[in-house]
Each structure stands twice: as structure tokens, then as C-alpha cells.
Structure 1
Amino acid sequence: MPHATVRSDNRTQKDPVPPARPARRPSPRWTRWCVAVGATLMMFSGVALGGSQFVLHAATSKVTRQSLIGKAAAPRQHRTITGAKNILLVGIDTRPHQDSSQLTRSDSIMLVHIPADHRQAYLVSLPRDSLVTIPAYDNGATPFHGGKNKINAAFAFGSRGLTGPAALSHGFELLALTVRDLTGITPDAGAIIDFQGFKQIVQVLGKVCMYVDETTTSIHLGKDDATGRTAAPYKINPDGTVNHRIAGVTPNIYTKGNHCLNPSQALDFVRQRDLLANHDYDYGRQRHQQQFLKAVLHQVMTDGLNSPTKLPGLLTAVGKTMTVDDGGIPLEDWAFAMRGIDPDAISTIKTNNGTFNSRTVPGVGSAEILSPTSLELLRAVRDNNVASFVQAHPDWVAPSGPTPAN
């Protein structure tokens, strides 16, 4: 299938701007891609299934290993790959030369649950604005005394006053402790995303074919009507909200249906949350990220791993993508254990059933309240009972749509 044609419309600067929603901190283009790195550990399973031991070693040896989970982990004595597993994946926006006093919040938080038979996987994204209790934590530089806040603040408070690997370790540990206290889940492994590294994966693949489930208008990318050059279609406020439409610039529009997106289009689409046809904002973006994850994994395993020209660059890019805490289990063991997970066997599940459940909290602002059924879902992840939850709540599974041909 050819690359998608990004359709333009006939709207003018008088078009209404998106409805008001909670302010957010601005983030670079790569931030919205972080969820797709959830495929990486499973990507290694494709190497294990279709490649040689040498290729598998070449892939896993390039990954940065670091202790991240810390006190949130279960005891690591005699850890094995058998049984149900939970992986905590965190995407952050750490900018070059960022001042240590500038807080870094986790942009995406996702749990990957692998049942005991290792034949399937479930992806559960935690809304970054979820109201939680963050425990007290001393990172050795700037202690945090604990309290109610949005879950994405946990990484910020854990890493506050630190730089480099120490900031990553302490930020992740406090977030993992927060997730453990909220859900009872002690992660078996964890990873932090490097957005620039993941950009290279998509560049190696060249395109990503996926189903767009709702027409999406970009607030970031468009074309200047006079010159045909790429231009921003909307003026964005410092807090990341939309100010107004820019005259003479037509935004990229990704219409509902099958598309093969080039790297620029794919990055732009996964990033959007403001002008979605269903007005589902963060929940729509969360769903699109999960669907995109499956599409990337499918393409890596059907195209990248079978291409002698793409494979070396792909393995290098994968290795640079994330920092991993393997939980005391070698990555090679993770790869072989998950080699039977096909991309089509990955189910993406919507917290709060993809609907808003917001509340204004003094000192916090507008936050998402996880519903009783969402907490039931998280308990099912903890208890390795997700299949029963899905059977009882089939509408909570996000549809992936038909898979386009490459």
C-alpha cells in the first residue's frame, strides 16, 4: 500500500480552536513516540525466533543496563523467566543541556503484562494525569515528603536535583514505588525510553502501516499554501495549549482508514491529542499509541528482521532506544521466553474505558480519577487474571483495525 496522502481541508483562520482542556508542558516531537518502545523487549523475541544466537547477542549487547526499579522490585534471589511477568515502561522528555533544577515528568507510563504461558501480551497505559498518592522518598539530593499528585510527577520528584544515570534511577524508582502502592504490582523488569534512539528505528523501517481509527488533524505540521513548504498550522501557547489557527497554512489531516505513514507523518499522528474527530484527547492519543506499537512491532518482525540491509541498522537503533533494568533475568532469556508472542496476540486495554473522569484537586489542578473498574483491571494485572477481565469487559479492549499491507 502506498504512503498515506495527507488530505487538506478548506478551513480558514476563523475555524474554532479546540475546546479548552487542562494545560500541559510543551514537549518535542519524539515524546509522543515513547509508548512504541514497549515493542522492544518483544522485538528481541522476534530475533530469537527468526535469527541466530549471534544476532540475538548482537541485539541485546547494545542495550544500556541499569538498576531502575530499586526498592519497588520483588526479591531477586533465584529469579527465573517462568510464570507471569509485568514490565513497567516509562517515556520521558529529557532535553540536551537541561538544568538539573528543571523537573522531568514521565510523559507516558505503560504496563506490559505477559501471562504465565507467554503466548500473549496485554498493554495497559496509565493516564499521566491520574491522581495518586506518591510516597515519601529521599534521593540523596532533594527529599520528597510525599502527597497527592498526578502520577507523572513521581518521576520528577524522584529525580529532582540529580542529573545523568542517577536522575534516571531515582526518578524511575519513585514512579515504580508509586505504581506498586497503587496497584500492588512489583515490576519484573523496566525500561526508560530515549526518543532520539527510537526515531532511528522508524527511519530504518522507512514507513509504518496501520489503521487510523478516527480522523485526526495535526496542530504541529502542515503546508504553507503559498510555498508548499512544511509549516506550523496553529500557534501554540507556552503551556502547550492551542492559541489559534495560522492563516495560509493547511494542517496535515490523517483520515480514518488504512495508511502507510512515512516517519514524519507517523511521528506527527501519534503525537496528536487536540483535534481528534471523537474529541477524546489524551485517551485517543493513548489508544493510538498502543495501536501504533502493534503496527511497529508487526513491521519489525515481518520486514526489518528479514532484511539483510535493514537488520544491522535496526539492531543498533533498538540498542540505543532505551535503558533497561532486566530484573536480574538476562535479556536473552526474556527474548526466548517471549518468542511465541505474535503482534496479533497483543491486546491493548483502555483505562477508564477511554472516557474522562476528571476532578479539580486543590494544589494539583485537573486530574484523572481512576474508576473502580480501572482499579479492577490493575488488580487483574497483578493477579495474572487479565483474560477474565477482558472476557467480562470486552469493550475495554481498544480495536486495532485491519492491518494494511506493507
Structure 2
Amino acid sequence: MPHAVTTHPERRSRSADPARPGRRPWPRWARWSVALGATLMVLSGVALGGAQYLLHTATSKVTQQNLLGAAAAPQQQHRTITGAKNILLVGVDTRAHQDPGQLIRSDSIILVHIPADHSQAYLVSLPRDSLVSIPAYRNGATSYPGGQNKINAAFAFGSRGLTGAPALSHGFELLALTVRDLTGITPDAGAIIDFQGFKKIVQVLGQVCMYVDETTTSIHVGRDDSTGKPAAPYKINPDGTVNHRIPGVTPNVYTKGNHCLDPAQALDFVRQRDLLADHDYDYGRQRHQQQFLKAVLHQVMTGGLNSPTKLPGLLSAVGRTMTVDDGGIPLEDWAFALRGIDSDAITTIKTNDGTFNSRSVPGVGSAEILSPTSLELLRAVRTDTVGSFVQAHPSWVAASAPSVPAH
């Protein structure tokens, strides 16, 4: 039998932990400041009186770097947080790129749209195999002449020949320029989320509880049938695709249903795209990563912020997980402006209605073609009319997975 992670009977979720006797509950804006940490709405706050100090402490933990470069909005003398905002989030897996000569490709690309009233957030994922035009670019070490390719190649071409912080900044800049040319959207801020770093956040929390909406088999983690020790269950090609099953190793299987995942399991689960029960590959992985981010955010707000023993480690882990370009608007302003948004006010939207629209492209391989309606969705992001788009296309909203209380 496959090695399945422990499942737990579904229980009614709690919107928040009860306040301890004699302690004042955390204000909602303080809880949501950590949201910038799960989706660039992070940070933290505390009970009244120490809020400003801890907010400053939280923002100081976040690594800040010029990521947008030439893709940034023209600098104004006084940039403000008012109005609709668009944040470009890029997920990377640093463990997969330990070789300095290996290209860094973005695992997930998400546009976070905040309407002008700052009442909610929309997450729009761009499939990493989307066929796009990538502009010509030079990073100082090498150059890219421009051309058609998959969108996640933009990060690779921008960072080629570089390591460390320069690789991240140049990779992000070329990706942001590609997104700007595709959508007409000039990001107001940007962030790189390191999914390896999320393992540290889960370590502080102890576990993350979420609903797995389709049985998922790991191609990375399993157990040797004879020794019971961890072992790789599949041989993986250099491009990340599956070559063959390794005899004598049983892969981890995350069955459909409620799970409380330990740090290693959580990181393994959000990486999977090849052996999903519904055969939805990248669309499934995008959905699972979004669900994971929301589950972490929910657990941080309902547990982590209320724990004086967890809070310092949580802030440190969040800071190490993210690299942020605040777009010239202080992180404290971002946190305060987004204080009214909670995890229930985050809507995830599927490009191409979550269905494949592939085409074989010479020199590129099989690529996803964004449908006319997907381009309409991106125009709605640019013009702050996503609410109207959602009303007209309700099936494009990803169904929310049942929330699972931590225990």
C-alpha cells in the first residue's frame, strides 16, 4: 500500500482561537499584517500599546531588494498606497537550483489584485507554460535576444550567468517586463516567495492543516520498502519530468481529504504536479499552492500571532521566506492599508477556466495558449474591474477547500 500521510476527520472550523482570560484579543489589522508574509501582505502586530514597535520589528525582518527594475512604475515624489494595487508574486524552489550553473525557473507566477477600496484580494495565477513574447534583455553577465517562449523561462533568461541576489533581481525584472508587455499591468510591488522557506514557517507552527482536494502522489519523497528509510521513488529527468519509478521504493501519497502536514510533507505536497488524480498538472499545483498559502495564513492569524513563544520565530521565518520590492511605498503602509482583508476575502481565479489549451510550438515544445477570456481577465486586473469579471464568469473562481482547524 502507498505510504499515505495521516488524515483527520473533518471538523467544524474556528474563525479564531478564543482569547485567553485576561488578555486583550489581537486587532484584525495586526493579524492581517502577517498576510503580507503569506502573499505580500505580511508582517505582524500586537496588542494595543506595542503595535508600532512590533510592526517595525516585523517589517525589518523582510529582505528588501530592487526586483522590478525597469518594470517599475515611474517614480513619483510621493507614492501613496491609495487606489487599486497590483502585486507580482513569484514562487521559486531554491532546493532545486543548488547548482550555480542551473537555470532558475519560476515555479508559480501570481498577480495579486487589490481593488481601490482595499476590501479584498484576487489571486490570478499565470500558468508557467504560457506562451509569451519575452523582450530582449541584458543582465551584465549575459544577454537574451528576445523571442517567444514559456513565461517561466523569462526568470531563467534574466538570471542566467548570475548567482545570489543579482540572479533573483534580474530574473524577476525580466519576468516583470514580460508580464507588463503581456498584460499592460505595471506592478506596484513585487515579491519572491521561497517555498523552501515556507518549510521554516511550518516548523514554527508545528504543522499546517488543509484540505487536499485530489489524491496526490509524490515523485520526490518515499520510503525504501526494505529499510523504511526515506528514499526517492522516481528517477527525475534534468528538466524536472518523471523518467521512471524506482523499484523497492513506495512514494508518499496525500489522499483526498483533511490532512495536518508536517514541514517536510507540506513542502513536498506543494511541489507536486505530475501524479495528480485529476491529471490537472500545473493547474492542480497552482491551486494547491494557493490553498496552502491560505491555510498557512489562516493558521498564522488564528494561532501563531497569539503565541508569545512562536511569534519571534514566526517573524524571522517569514522574513527569510520573502524578498520584497515595496515599489517605493513603505511596508508599514502596505500592512496598514490591507488591514481589512482576511483569508475569507481572498478569491483565487483560474486562467483558461482551469482547462488545458495546449499547442506544440517549434523550439519551445508543448505550451499553454491563454484564451481570449483569460486575456479579458488580465484586462480586468489592469482596469480594476475584476469584480465584474467574476460576476460574469463565476466558474472561473476556484472553489474554496474546506478549512481544517489546527490541533
Q: Is the 8 A contact 1:270 1:289 kept in 2?
A: yes
Partner deviation per Cα, 1:32-76 (whole Å, 9 max, x = no partner): xxxx987253232x5378871111111101112111112212222
Q: Is the 8 A contact 1:38 1:293 kept in 2?
A: no
Query: Alpha-carbon deviation of 1:362?
Result: 0.9
- Report the CA distance shift for 1:194/1:285 in structure 2 as closer, same or farther (over 3 A): closer
Identity of aligned residues (%): 82
Q: Distance in 1 between matches of 2:114 and 2:354?
A: 22
Q: Distance in 1 between matches of 2:36 and 2:195?
A: 9
What aligned pairs does 1:329-344 form with structure 2 within 5 A after superposition? Answer: 329-344=329-344
- Report the CA distance shift for 1:171/1:247 in structure 2 as closer, same or farther (over 3 A): closer
Partner deviation per Cα, 1:245-300 (whole Å, 9 max, x = no partner): 33333322222122211112211211111121111111111111111111111111
Aligned residue in 1 for 2:25: none
Match of 2:45 among 44, 47, 64: 47
Query: Alpha-carbon deviation of 1:197?
Result: 3.0
Q: Is the 8 A contact 2:351 2:370 kept in 1?
A: yes
RMSD of aligned residue pairs (Cα, Å):
2.2
What aligned pairs does 1:113-192 form with structure 2 within 5 A after superposition? Answer: 113-192=113-192
Aligned residue in 1 for 2:75: 76
Query: Alpha-carbon deviation of 1:97?
Result: 6.3
Q: Secondary structure at the match of 1:332?
A: helix
Query: Alpha-carbon deviation of 1:208?
Result: 0.8
Q: Is the 8 A contact 1:40 1:318 kept in 2?
A: no
Query: Alpha-carbon deviation of 1:4?
Result: 5.2
Q: Secondary structure at the match of 1:356?
A: coil
Letter in 2 for 1:47: G
What aligned pairs does 1:243-282 form with structure 2 within 5 A after superposition? Answer: 243-282=243-282
Letter in 2 for 1:151: I
- Report the CA distance shift for 1:377/1:344 in structure 2 as closer, same or farther (over 3 A): same
- Report the CA distance shift for 1:97/1:269 in structure 2 as closer, same or farther (over 3 A): closer
Aligned residue in 2 for 1:31: none
Q: Distance in 1 between matches of 2:377 and 2:267?
A: 29
Q: Is the 8 A contact 1:48 1:335 kept in 2?
A: no
Aligned residue in 1 for 2:200: 200
Partner deviation per Cα, 1:355-377 (whole Å, 9 max, x = no partner): 11111111111111111111111
Query: Alpha-carbon deviation of 1:235?
Result: 3.0
Query: Alpha-carbon deviation of 1:225?
Result: 3.1
Q: Distance in 2 between matches of 1:228 and 1:136?
A: 50
Aligned residue in 2 for 1:67: 66
Q: Is the 8 A contact 1:42 1:341 kept in 2?
A: no
- Report the CA distance shift for 1:212/1:114 in structure 2 as closer, same or farther (over 3 A): same
Q: Distance in 2 between matches of 1:267 and 1:141?
A: 32
Letter in 1 for 2:227: T
Letter in 1 for 2:363: G
Query: Alpha-carbon deviation of 1:303?
Result: 0.8
Q: Distance in 1 between matches of 2:132 and 2:116?
A: 29
Aligned residue in 1 for 2:87: 87
Q: Distance in 2 between matches of 1:213 and 1:361?
A: 32
Q: Distance in 2 between matches of 1:237 and 1:160?
A: 20
Query: Alpha-carbon deviation of 1:229?
Result: 2.4
- Report the CA distance shift for 1:258/1:321 in structure 2 as closer, same or farther (over 3 A): same
Q: Distance in 1 between matches of 2:260 and 2:248?
A: 27
Query: Alpha-carbon deviation of 1:118?
Result: 1.1
Q: Distance in 2 between matches of 1:265 and 1:94?
A: 17
Letter in 1 for 2:337: A
Q: Secondary structure at the match of 2:144?
A: coil
Q: Is the 8 A contact 2:7 2:258 kept in 1?
A: no
Q: Distance in 2 between matches of 1:382 and 1:49?
A: 37
Q: Secondary structure at the match of 2:219?
A: strand
- Report the CA distance shift for 1:137/1:48 in structure 2 as closer, same or farther (over 3 A): farther
- Report the CA distance shift for 1:157/1:238 in structure 2 as closer, same or farther (over 3 A): closer
Q: Distance in 1 between matches of 2:36 and 2:336?
A: 19
Query: Alpha-carbon deviation of 1:311?
Result: 0.2
Q: Secondary structure at the match of 1:149?
A: strand
Runs of 4+ in 1 over 6 A off after TM superposition: 48-51
What aligned pairs does 1:222-241 form with structure 2 within 5 A after superposition? Answer: 222-241=222-241
Aligned residue in 2 for 1:21: none
Letter in 2 for 1:59: A
- Report the CA distance shift for 1:194/1:271 in structure 2 as closer, same or farther (over 3 A): closer
Aligned residue in 2 for 1:317: 317
Q: Distance in 2 between matches of 1:332 and 1:48?
A: 14
Q: Is the 8 A contact 1:211 1:400 kept in 2?
A: no
Aligned residue in 1 for 2:399: 399
Specify every segment of 5 or more residues in structure 2 that has no aligned partner in the other structure, as ranges: 9-34
Aligned residue in 1 for 2:6: 5
Q: Is the 8 A contact 1:37 1:193 kept in 2?
A: no
Q: Distance in 1 between matches of 2:37 and 2:129?
A: 20
Q: Size of the alignment, in residue pairs? A: 374
Letter in 2 for 1:230: P
Letter in 2 for 1:266: A
Aligned residue in 1 for 2:20: none
Q: Distance in 1 between matches of 2:274 and 2:165?
A: 34
Aligned residue in 1 for 2:308: 308
Q: Distance in 1 between matches of 2:381 and 2:312?
A: 35
- Report the CA distance shift for 1:243/1:159 in structure 2 as closer, same or farther (over 3 A): closer
Partner deviation per Cα, 1:197-222 (whole Å, 9 max, x = no partner): 33211110111111111111222222
Partner deviation per Cα, 1:118-176 (whole Å, 9 max, x = no partner): 11111111111111001112223322221111111111222223333332222211111
1:58 and 2:57 equivalent?
A: yes
Letter in 2 for 1:66: Q
Q: Is the 8 A contact 1:159 1:167 kept in 2?
A: yes
Query: Alpha-carbon deviation of 1:6?
Result: 6.3
